[in-house]
Structure 1
Amino acid sequence: MPYSAEHKQQIRSRIVECARVLFNRKGFTEVSIDEIMASAKLTRGGFYNHFRTKEELFVEAVAAYQDFNPADRWPELNFDSGRCGAAFARQMVDVYLSREHLDDIEGHCPMIALPSDVARASPGVKHAYRGLLERMAGMFAQSADASADAHVARRHGLALAALCVGGMVLARTIEDDAFREEIRAATRATAHDLID
C-alpha cells in the first residue's frame, strides 16, 4: 500500500528538521546525507524520494526558518505574535538577542548559524537566506516612524536586522561569557534606541 501524501510530507518535514539541526551544529559541509537520514531514523535510500541533492535540502532547511515561532521553542520568553509596531519590534529584539537563542545552537536562526556556508552556496540557498533577511527586515520596518516613507522604513528594518544578526554572530564566536553578555546587551540597547 503506497504512503499517503500527508505521510510523505511528514517524513519530508522530519528530514528537513533533522538537517536544519545538524547544519546549525556542524555546518553544511561537515554533515553527510547518511548522518541526516540516521538522525531522522530513515535509510539513505529514502533521501532520494524527497530530495535530489543535499544542497536542495539545505535550501529547504534555511527557508523553513521563515515559519519559526519563538514561543514554540522558548515558551519562557512569552513571545506574543499578536503585538504590532514598536511593541512587536522590541519583543523581536529581546527574543532574537536572548540568552536562550544564543545558547540554543540547534535552534539558531540560519542567519546566525550559517552565514559562511551560505556565502559559498548555490543561488537557491542564497535566495532562501535572503528571504529570511527580507522577512525580518520587513517586521522591523513596521516599527519605523509612521510618517516615514517606504524607503526610510525599509532602511530602518534592514539596519535593525543587520544589528541583531551581527550582534549574535559576534556573541556566538566569543568564548568569554562576560564579553558575550556585553555584546548582547550593547546590541539590544542600541536596537531599542533605534526603535524608540
Structure 2
Amino acid sequence: MPFTAEHKQKTRQRIVECARELFNRRGFNDVSIDEIMQRAGLTRGGFYNHFKAKEELYAEAVSLYMHFDPSQHWEGVRFDPTCSETIGRQMVEAYLSAAHLQDVEGHCPLIALPADAARAGPGVQRAYRCLVENMAQLLASGMDDEEGCKARDRGLAVTALCVGGMVLARTVDDPAFAEELRCAARALALELIGAAG
C-alpha cells in the first residue's frame, strides 16, 4: 500500500530536521546521508524519494530556520512576531541570548554554517541569502529612520553584528570572554535599533 502525501511530507520534515541538527553540529562535509537517515529512523534508499542530492537537503535545512520560533525552543526567551513595534528588540534578545549560544543543534545556520555556505552551490547560497535578508527585514521593520539612515541598511548592519557576535562567541575557548562578546554585541545591536535600556 503506497504512503499518503501527508506521510511523505512528515517523513521529509523529519529528515530535514535531523539534517539541520547534524549540519549545525558538524557542518556539511562531515555529515553523511547515511547518518542523517539513520537519525531519522530511515534507510539510505529512502533519501532519494525526497531529495536529488545532499546539497538540496542542506538548502532546505537552512531555509527551515526562517520559521523557527525561539520561544518554543529556548527557556526564558519571548518572541511574538505579531508585535511589530518590538520585533527588533525581541529578535536581538532572542538571537543574542545565552540559550541560543548554548544550543549547538538548534542554533541559526548563519552562525553554524557560514564557511560551508560560502563553498556550497547556488541553491545553498540562495537559501543562506534569503535567511540573511529575512532577518535584516524583520529587524528593519521596527526601526525609526533617524539621522538619514535607511532602515534596511541598519537592519543589515544589526544582522551582521548579531551573527558575527555569535560566531565569535561560539569559537573562543574562554566562556567568560564568550559571554562578554555576546553581551557587547547585544548592547550595541539594541542601541542601533533604538531599543536600548
TM-score after normalising by structure 1: 0.95
Task: Out of 12-21 and 70-79, give the one that drifted further.
Answer: 70-79
CA distance in 2, matches of 1:10, 1:70: 21
Moved over 6 A (4+): none
CA distance in 2, matches of 1:177, 1:42: 38
Corresponding position of 2:98: 99
Q: Could you say what the CA RMSD is over the residues aligned between the two structures, in angstroms?
A: 1.4
Corresponding position of 1:133: 132
1:49: Cα distance to partner?
A: 0.5
CA distance in 2, matches of 1:58, 1:148: 40
Q: Is the 8 A contact 2:51 2:57 kept in 1?
A: yes
CA distance in 1, matches of 2:146, 2:91: 22
Aligned length, in residue pairs: 194
Q: Identical aligned pairs, as a percentage?
A: 60
Corresponding position of 1:195: 193
1:147: Cα distance to partner?
A: 6.6
SS at match of 2:105: helix
Structure 2 segments unaligned to the other structure (5+ residues): none
1:181: Cα distance to partner?
A: 0.7
TM-score after normalising by structure 2: 0.95
Structure 1 segments unaligned to the other structure (5+ residues): none
1:54 counterpart letter in structure 2: K
Corresponding position of 1:154: 152
Corresponding position of 1:170: 168
Corresponding position of 1:79: 79
CA distance in 1, matches of 2:185, 2:77: 18
2:77 counterpart letter in structure 1: L
CA distance in 2, matches of 1:44, 1:38: 8
CA distance in 1, matches of 2:179, 2:145: 33
